[in-house]
Amino acid sequence: MAQPHSTPKPIFTALPSSSPILAFITFLCVSGLYIVYHPTSNTSTTPNRNTPTTTTLFLTSSNNYTISSYLRDLTLHPHLAGTKASLETVKYVENHFKGLNLETHNVEFEALLSYPGEISLDVYLSDGVVRKLELSELGYSGRVVVPYHAYSPSGSVFGKVVFVNYGREEDYRVLEALGVNVSGCVAIVRKGEVFRGGVVVRGSENGIVAVLIYGDGDRFNGVERGTVMKGLGDPLTPGWGGVEGGEKLGWEENEVKKRFPKIPSMPISAENAEIILGSLEGVEVPYEWRVTLHSKVGGVGAGPTLVNFTYQEQKKVVKIHNVFAVIRGWEELDRYVLLGNHRDAWTYGAVDPNSGTAALLDIARRYALLTRSGWAPRRTIVLCSWDAEEFGMVGNSRCSLY
Ligand SMILES: *[C@@H]1O[C@H](CO)[C@@H](O)[C@H](O)[C@H]1NC(C)=O
Ligand SMILES: *[C@@H]1O[C@H](CO)[C@@H](O)[C@H](O)[C@H]1NC(C)=O
Ligand SMILES: *[C@@H]1O[C@H](CO)[C@@H](O)[C@H](O)[C@H]1NC(C)=O
């Protein structure tokens, strides 16, 4: 973490300096007196340092019951960054740190996030049947944000579907060699090792007009939401941490727009993908693709199946919150050991991020036990609970640049 270079909020500034000389003299007097009366012991103002006893206390105070109760509280509802539900979770973490008497900071700032508006996907099968696909997971419509890709542009496309395997450049070369013209088509891509944002960009470079990504062989029929933005951090402050009142770019500037894909995209379930893939015809799926493929794919296309995919993006500048607990070091006050995890969760988030946050809260509880016994770490420890990570490390980037 770099030291602040402008005049940021005083999160990591030194101790308050109300008459330091007087305090120092008082300290000398008190410790002098103390040493006189307790010649062999330490001074009372020196914090307890790490000893086998503090280490044992820290390790044995680990507790599954507290962690599981934090996890339960955190997973009661999703908390998408910038929403009211998210604010409740901010308060939960902040109150936890404060309740432990830890020095707590709630650093709030604005960032450009992206939410879904109207979304629809209609499949036009070759026999004339039109199917309007249900996009939310069964039973979760309205409770969890509809599956979407943050920073996907709005768009409505009506075109033939083509299956492009993992959507890598080599996959497009295979299709080209097979004589498949993907230009003007909607691509269905199986999720692989490649970052989804890169998959969308590669699609548009190859003439694709929209991208639908699914998890091949996903037995749970889950849908992977996520960002398709290129790079990390608030798109309006590319490469620097947006401090309050600091420089920000406009939405329409090139530096901002080049971080978003040019064509719309969306994640879909394996079941929905199969409805479309099973109805494709044309060239047979190449053997190399087929050996690891779980879904039934009629052919790579293009077509005859058509889809009408409509996506409406809502960009918003919203308040997001990084919450910190600071435990001051006794020797190297200005050196920080950061322990952190993001807090925002688009769905229930029991694994990512809430299990990590539950562990972070329990570590805070255990450090508080030690500080109550007079212990202090050698370097300053900062427990960090970052916001808006799922949008592209928006809160995390802000912290590390601060
Ligand atoms: C916590 O639960 C795990 C898994 O059940 C177990 O291995 C571990 O010993 C438990 N720890 C404590 C401190 O109870
Ligand atoms: C590929 O398809 C597009 C859109 O239908 C068309 O404009 C283009 O001429 C086709 N290219 C070839 C090589 O057939
Ligand atoms: C595609 O769907 C959108 C949203 O329902 C609709 O407004 C549009 O007219 C449709 N386009 C076609 C070509 O059917």
Give the number of the ligand closest to the Cα of residue 156. 3
Active site residues: 389
What pTM was estimated for this model as a whole? 0.83
- Residue whose CA is closest, atom 3 of ligand 2? 183
What tokens does 44 get? 């009372």
Pocket test for ligand 1, best of 56, 58, 61, 64 (most atoms within 8 A of CB): 64
Give the number of the ligand closest to the Cα of residue 362. 1
**Measured in angstroms, how far is the CA atom of residue 398 from the centroid of ligand 2?**
45
Give the number of the ligand closest to the Cα of residue 185. 2
What domains, with CATH codes, occur in the chain? 1-46 (no CATH), 49-111+317-401 (3.40.630.10), 113-315 (3.50.30.30)
Cβ contacts of 264 within 8 Å, gap of 6 or more: 152, 153, 154, 155, 157, 210, 211, 309, 311, 313
> Which residues lie across from 190 on neighbouring strands?
214
Pocket test for ligand 3, best of 133, 186, 310, 311 (most atoms within 8 A of CB): 310
Rounded distance between C-alpha atoms, residue 297 and residue 179, angstroms: 18
Q: What number of other Cβ atoms are within 10 A of residue 163's Cβ?
A: 30
Alpha helices by DSSP H, 164-269:
169-177, 196-205, 254-257
Q: What number of other Cβ atoms are within 10 A of residue 296's Cβ?
A: 10
Pocket-forming residues, ligand 3, beta carbon under 6 Å: 120, 156, 158, 308, 310
**Measured in angstroms, how far is the CA atom of residue 121 from the centroid of ligand 3?**
9
- Residue whose CA is closest, atom 6 of ligand 1? 64
**Mean pLDDT, contiguous 10-residue spans, the chain (402 residues):** 34 33 32 34 60 88 93 94 94 97 91 94 94 88 90 96 96 96 97 91 96 90 90 82 74 87 96 95 94 92 94 94 93 90 90 93 96 91 90 73 40
Cβ contacts of 118 within 8 Å, gap of 6 or more: 310, 311, 312
- Residue whose CA is closest, atom 8 of ligand 2? 183
Residue 303's pLDDT is: 85
- Residue whose CA is closest, atom 9 of ligand 2? 183
Residue 399's pLDDT is: 58
**Measured in angstroms, how far is the CA atom of residue 374 from the centroid of ligand 1?**
28
3-state SS assignment for residue 185: coil
**Measured in angstroms, how far is the CA atom of residue 10 from the centroid of ligand 1?**
39
Distances in whole angstroms, Cα of residue 234 to Cα of each of 58, 205, 387: 37, 25, 11
Cβ contacts of 40 within 8 Å, gap of 6 or more: none
Pocket test for ligand 2, best of 180, 181, 185, 208 (most atoms within 8 A of CB): 181
Q: What number of other Cβ atoms are within 10 A of residue 263's Cβ?
A: 21
- Residue whose CA is closest, atom 13 of ligand 1? 63
Rounded distance between C-alpha atoms, residue 199 and residue 183, angstroms: 16
Give the number of the ligand closest to the Cα of residue 120. 3
- Residue whose CA is closest, atom 3 of ligand 1? 64
**Measured in angstroms, how far is the CA atom of residue 69 from the centroid of ligand 1?**
14
Rounded distance between C-alpha atoms, residue 344 and residue 78, angstroms: 8
3-state SS assignment for residue 110: strand
Distances in whole angstroms, Cα of residue 7 to Cα of each of 267, 367, 402: 42, 30, 10
**Measured in angstroms, how far is the CA atom of residue 378 from the centroid of ligand 3?**
63
What tokens does 270 get? 């394996």
181 lines ligand 2 (CB under 6 A): yes
373 lines ligand 2 (CB under 6 A): no
Residue 39's pLDDT is: 35
Q: Is 163 within 8 Å of 212 (Cβ atoms)? A: no
- Residue whose CA is closest, atom 4 of ligand 3? 310
Backbone phi, psi, residue 37, to 5°: -85, -25
176 lines ligand 2 (CB under 6 A): no
**Measured in angstroms, how far is the CA atom of residue 176 from the centroid of ligand 2?**
12
Give the position of tokens 């498949």: 180
Residue 45's pLDDT is: 58
Instruction: Supply angle C-alpha 31, 35, 36, rounded to 5.
Output: 120
**Measured in angstroms, how far is the CA atom of residue 258 from the centroid of ligand 2?**
27
Q: Is 172 within 8 Å of 207 (Cβ atoms)? A: no
Rounded distance between C-alpha atoms, residue 356 and residue 345, angstroms: 12
What tokens does 107 get? 């650093």
Rounded distance between C-alpha atoms, residue 253 and residue 247, angstroms: 13
3-state SS assignment for residue 247: coil
Q: Do you know the residue count of the chain?
A: 402
Cβ contacts of 237 within 8 Å, gap of 6 or more: 246, 247, 248, 249
